[in-house]
Amino acid sequence: MARLVSGRLHVQTLPRHTYSVKQTLKSAERLVGLFRLLAPDIKPSRLCINVIASWHGLKVCEVMHNDTTARFQGIATRAVATYSTAQILSALYRKCSYIKFLMRPFGASQDVASSPSWSSGPTLASLDRHRIAMIYLAQAHAYKTNTTRVTAASISSSWDATDLAGIDHVGLTKDHLSRLVQSFDYLPGLECQSASLPRVLYGQSSSSSLLQREQDRIDPLRDEEDYALWLPRHFASNHGSDAIDFQRALTFFCRAQNDLEQIIISLQDVNYDDDDVASWC
């Protein structure tokens, strides 16, 4: 696959070890080793290690960024399942290469406007605005550090893509991309936003300084205990949806890992225990 695509190749560390720095580092090191074994002629700088944005996962980003040995040098990192200002601040501070936001909650419909079966459409739309605002703030601070790129995926509608114009990358489904192209055909006056600070920040200095005010209030970056005490307050925002969606995301990733392990087991002629199977993933 590395020879068929351009850009970086993203691989996920084992979500089962989300709350362990040691095990997540071990998982990342194994992924790097497999990459070098299977594609020795591909530059390691094309590899990006994805980690769940817990304190432990973000700490792994810092360790990999500061590594000066051949183990992780030049390899990018991406913090996934990012929902709160505490996670944003920590990811920026620890020099994660990417921050990934998931717009749509796990289990929600792909498009609110076209899916009346989703009973909480207005709630989901409000959540989209909340997430978009968080992405704008992260992008503003990322421009200052010039080390982190902001990405978004699992959007709720094609119009979210236009609202997110200016960030580094937006993941779109085929349907959303088609609708977005059609919207430009019907609205020839609609122009693309240049890659600069998101337009919502202009004239909103109070909002754009939110992360700075929070960072001045308390430092979540010193150790795990400080971060653990600070995080729940920010996960409680927007009626607790951030905390719920983070747990849903983690559960989803863990189930995917379990399913993959079951597939591997089914393909083996002999039975292996869970530790053996986990070491292959």
Q: Distance (Å, rounded) from C-alpha 229 to C-alpha 66? A: 26
Domain ranges of the chain: 9-280
At residue 49 the predicted structure's pLDDT band, cuts being 50, 70 and 90, is very high
User: pLDDT digits over 204-226, tens only?
Assistant: 444 445 556 655 555 555 667 66
- The full length of the chain comes to 281
Q: Distance (Å, rounded) from C-alpha 261 to C-alpha 277? A: 6
User: pLDDT digits over 81-120, tens only?
Assistant: 888 777 887 888 888 999 888 776 555 544 433 343 333 4
DSSP state of 73: T
Q: Residue 269's pLDDT is what? A: 52
Output helix, strand, coil percentages for the chain, rounded to the nearest 5: 55, 10, 35
Both structure tokens of 260:
């993959």
Q: Name the one residue in this structure whose structure tokens are 């489904």.
A: 173
- Do the beta carbons of residue 166 and residue 139 sit within 8 Å? yes
- Do the beta carbons of residue 149 and residue 142 sit within 8 Å? yes
Q: Which numeric CATH code is attached to 9-280?
A: 3.20.20
List the end-to-end C-alpha distance of the chain, in Å, as a whole number.
Answer: 17
Q: Distance (Å, rounded) from C-alpha 232 to C-alpha 236? A: 6
